[in-house]
């Protein structure tokens, strides 16, 4: 017991490793206890090493998580700014489309939008008014099948050939309304292209110029009559 007490005192006040190594070589109970204490110390040291490694791993993990959180916060802020900017842009685009749609609906000119196969997808109220056709009668059909029955074939081919090449075509065409009335219309057809320069639609804008052409014809006739009158007056003056 005295030896065990000395060993416990030494363990308490220092020089533990050296003492244990020395005492472990003994065969009696003190040696056995020393060997057990050495094994326990070794286990404790291993556990401490494992604990330190786990703490280090956890610190690295927490640092990595903090870095990820900061990155996510930056990405969230950037995404929020982009969403707000895109939302503002979309509002502007929607407003512009709304204004354009209202302008087309209230335009005095007849406006039609056709796909790349010349099939009508939209007409404005003026188009209905001047053609005599209701929207439901024109959507899904081609202008050639509706209005070009009296038009000159060469004019039709020139028009289709020009716009098919991606160019703007303009001219005056004699069209027939639903009631069978023939009207002269000044037409401009413009192709709409995608960002890859592929024609996706055509826009047709036309204005009825029947009355204008009639007035111009009357003016020309009046000028001719005036010229004939002046010529006749000149001849009569020379005869006299």
Dist. CA 187–CA 95, nearest whole Å: 28
Strands (E), 19-147: 110-115, 120-123
In which band, very low, low, confident or very high, does the pLDDT at 39 lie, cut at 50, 70 and 90?
confident
Q: Express each pLDDT in 75-129 by its tens digit.
A: 999 999 999 999 999 999 999 999 989 999 999 999 999 999 999 999 999 999 9
Dist. CA 172–CA 155, nearest whole Å: 9
> Among 26-35, 104-113, 157-166, 183-192, where is mean pLDDT lowest?
26-35
Q: Express each pLDDT in 184-196 by its tens digit.
A: 999 999 999 999 9
**Comparison of pLDDT for 32 and 169, the residue scoring more:** 169
Q: Which tokens belong to 23?
A: 């005492």
Question: Residue 163 pLDDT > 60, yes or no?
Answer: yes
> Among 33-42, 78-87, 211-220, where is mean pLDDT lowest?
33-42
> Among 49-53, 93-97, 207-211, where is mean pLDDT lowest?
49-53
- CA distances to 93, 152, 153, 175, 218 from 149, in Å: 39, 9, 9, 8, 27
Question: What is residue 209's three-state secondary structure?
Answer: coil
Helix ranges restricted to H, 107-152: 125-131, 135-138, 143-146
What pLDDT score does 232 carry? 64
- CA distances to 80, 106, 135, 183, 218 from 140, in Å: 43, 22, 10, 23, 40
Question: What is residue 150's three-state secondary structure?
Answer: coil
């Amino acid at each position: 017991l005295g030896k065990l007490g000395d060993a416990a005192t030494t363990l308490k006040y220092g020089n533990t490793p050296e003492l244990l190594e020395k005492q472990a070589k003994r065969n009696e109970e003190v040696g056995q206890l020393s060997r057990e204490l050495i094994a326990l110390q070794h286990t404790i040291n291993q556990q401490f090493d494992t604990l330190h490694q786990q703490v280090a791993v956890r610190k690295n993990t927490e640092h990595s998580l903090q870095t990820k959180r900061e990155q996510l916060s930056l990405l969230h802020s950037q995404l929020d700014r982009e969403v707000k900017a895109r939302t503002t842009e979309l509002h502007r685009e929607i407003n512009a489309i709304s204004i354009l749609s209202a302008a087309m609906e209230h335009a005095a000119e007849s406006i039609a939008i056709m796909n790349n196969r010349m099939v009508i997808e939209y007409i404005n109220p003026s188009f209905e008014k001047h053609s005599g056709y209701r929207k439901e009668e024109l959507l899904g059909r081609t202008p050639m099948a509706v209005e070009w029955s009296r038009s000159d074939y060469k004019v039709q081919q020139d028009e289709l050939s020009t716009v098919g090449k991606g160019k703007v075509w303009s001219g005056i065409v004699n069209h027939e309304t639903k009631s069978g009335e023939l009207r002269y219309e000044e037409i401009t057809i413009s192709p709409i292209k995608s960002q890859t320069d592929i024609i996706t639609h055509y826009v047709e804008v036309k204005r009825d110029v029947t009355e204008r052409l009639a007035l111009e014809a009357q003016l020309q006739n009046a000028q001719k009559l005036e010229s004939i009158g002046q010529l006749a007056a000149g001849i009569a003056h020379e005869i006299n």
